[in-house]
């Protein structure tokens, strides 16, 4: 028989984990995508002489940067400081992160030969990431640490385009004209992504988020045919922690993104949360759990306007089975960090 104390220790008490499990915590949990980063002077200071990817492979630095927003804002979760291209770099693919641009791929992957030549990823190649998770866990106490990965479609877009893209035209051209090559590429990326998440879970993260940031470029029909099987494989390959699935402009894809195996669906600011809950509800099923969805640009407005929007988002989130307060996409670099702290205080005062 399991002693009662052990059973009790497995019942989540952190507000983020309670909400993710469909419960009602004492106050709404809040964290911000890209909470670690250029909005913080302490981040700019420690990063000033260290390139982004070098920082991601330096456990002490990852630990420090991950903790900065938790110390400063009192958010309900830390998110591991890393990047969606980190597992690609660990596998040996030549990718750099160019400041002000984003990931740039030296040899874009555009045909069957290039897909066949992609390396696989062994868990040991991610040792610095696992070490970083261990360091963060030792410092965090009861605050959950969220691990993450980029989903196969979003990673494929960077690999095929060679960098950030507005219309994802080469990506879609390959998808429509060479479905076999496409599925081989997404299958290879699903393996890499699953390994990246498994390593983080093995090292002790309390939840994971799969970022399919650019999936909103697809129709629901194409998403279901070309992407959903691969994201489903990724989410099916990880277990033991709540899984959040997020994309931008994915209002039409919300039900499919839930079907991929998500416990929590991230919503951007274009769809109000009560409407997102309506779209996500399955007749006879449990009420969906959502994360979001303040417009990051709202944080640049007067605080009266910010407060109005925060109250609206929290009220609309009450339609859900559980709600994790967040932005609809990442913190904009020119956001005043004192505003983020005030938003956390405001949300924590909004008891159910």
Return the closest-CA partner of residue 89 out of 101, 112, 106.
106
Q: Measured in whole angstroms, how far is the alpha carbon of residue 183 from the centre of its chain?
A: 23
Catalytic residue among 72, 76, 158, 233: 158
The H-or-E segment that residue 96 falls in is: strand 95-98
Rounded Cα–Cα distance for residues 191 and 155 (Å): 12
Q: How many CA atoms lie within 13 A of 309 on its CB side?
A: 20
The H-or-E segment that residue 207 falls in is: strand 207-211
Q: Kindly state the smallest distance separating residue 31's Cβ from ligand CP3, in Å.
A: 9
Q: Which is nearer to ligand CP3, 101 or 120 (CB)?
A: 101
Angle, helices 127-140 vs 59-73, to 10°: value is 30
245 in a labelled binding site: no
Do 340 and 30 meet the contact criterion of CB atoms below 8 Å apart?
no
Q: Kindly state the smallest distance separating residue 350's Cβ from ligand CP3, in Å.
A: 23
- The answer for 59, left when phi > 0, alpha when psi is -120 to 50, beta otherwise, is alpha
Q: Which is nearer to ligand CP3, 150 or 337 (CB)?
A: 150
Q: Which is nearer to ligand CP3, 150 or 317 (CB)?
A: 150
Active site annotation includes 38: yes
Q: Which is nearer to ligand CP3, 212 or 263 (CB)?
A: 212
Q: Kindly state the smallest distance separating residue 344's Cβ from ligand CP3, in Å.
A: 15
Residue 332 has what DSSP assignment? P
Q: Which is nearer to ligand CP3, 35 or 198 (CB)?
A: 35
Active site annotation includes 47: yes
Residue 326 has what DSSP assignment? E
**Max alpha carbon distance in the chain (Å)?**
59
Q: Which is nearer to ligand CP3, 38 or 270 (CB)?
A: 38
312 in a labelled binding site: no
240 in a labelled binding site: no
Q: Kindly state the smallest distance separating residue 102's Cβ from ligand CP3, in Å.
A: 3
Q: Kindly state the smallest distance separating residue 251's Cβ from ligand CP3, in Å.
A: 16
Angle, helices 337-348 vs 303-317, to 10°: value is 40
36 in a labelled binding site: yes
Q: Kindly state the smallest distance separating residue 180's Cβ from ligand CP3, in Å.
A: 26
Catalytic residue among 47, 72, 233, 258: 47
213 in a labelled binding site: yes
336 in a labelled binding site: no
Q: 273 is written with which tokens?
A: 């949360």
Catalytic residue among 38, 170, 178, 224: 38
Four-point Cα dihedral 66, 88, 208, 246, nearest 10 = 100
Catalytic residue among 43, 72, 83, 268: 83
State the first-to-last Cα distance of the chain, in angstroms, to the nearest integer.
Answer: 36
By Cβ distance, which residue is nearest to ligand CP3? 213
Active site annotation includes 71: no
223 in a labelled binding site: no
| Interface ranges with ligand CP3 (CB under 6 A) | 33-38, 47, 52, 79, 81, 83-84, 97, 99-103, 148, 150, 154, 211, 213, 330
Do 329 and 35 meet the contact criterion of CB atoms below 8 Å apart?
no
Q: Which positions make up the binding site for substrate?
A: 34-38, 83, 158, 213, 329
- Catalytic residue numbers, as ranges: 34, 38, 47, 83, 158
The binding site consists of 34-38, 83, 158, 213, 329
């Amino acid at each position: 028989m399991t002693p009662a104390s052990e059973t009790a220790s497995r019942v989540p008490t952190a507000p983020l984990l309670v909400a993710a499990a469909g419960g009602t915590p004492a106050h709404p949990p809040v964290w911000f995508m890209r909470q670690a980063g250029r909005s913080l002077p302490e981040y700019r200071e420690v990063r000033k002489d260290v390139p982004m990817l070098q920082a991601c492979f330096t456990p002490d630095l990852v630990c420090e940067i991950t903790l900065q927003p938790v110390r400063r804002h009192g958010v309900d979760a830390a998110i591991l400081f890393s990047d969606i291209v980190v597992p690609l770099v660990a596998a040996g693919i030549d990718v750099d992160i160019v400041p002000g641009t984003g990931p740039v791929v030296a040899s874009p992957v555009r045909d069957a030969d290039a897909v066949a030549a992609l390396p696989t990823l062994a868990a040991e190649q991610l040792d610095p990431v696992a070490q970083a998770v261990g360091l963060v866990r030792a410092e965090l106490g009861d605050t959950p640490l969220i691990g993450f990965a980029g989903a196969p479609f979003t990673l494929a877009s960077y690999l095929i385009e060679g960098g950030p893209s507005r219309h994802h035209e080469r990506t879609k051209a390959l998808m429509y004209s060479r479905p076999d090559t496409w599925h081989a590429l997404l299958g290879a990326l699903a393996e890499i992504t699953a390994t990246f998440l498994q390593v983080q879970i093995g090292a002790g993260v309390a939840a994971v988020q799969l970022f399919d940031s650019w999936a909103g470029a697809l129709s629901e029909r194409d998403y279901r045919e070309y992407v959903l099987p691969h994201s489903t494989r990724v989410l099916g390959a990880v277990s033991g922690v709540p899984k959040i699935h997020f994309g931008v402009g994915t209002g039409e894809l919300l039900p499919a993104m839930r079907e991929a195996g998500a416990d929590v669906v991230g919503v951007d600011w274009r769809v109000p949360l009560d409407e997102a809950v309506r779209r996500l509800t399955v007749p006879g099923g449990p009420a969906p759990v959502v994360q979001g969805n303040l417009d990051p640009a709202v944080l640049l407005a007067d605080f009266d306007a910010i407060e109005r929007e925060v109250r609206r988002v929290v009220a609309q989130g009450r339609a859900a089975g559980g709600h994790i307060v967040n932005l609809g996409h990442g913190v904009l670099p020119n956001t005043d960090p004192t505003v983020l702290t005030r938003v956390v205080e405001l949300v924590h005062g909004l008891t159910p």
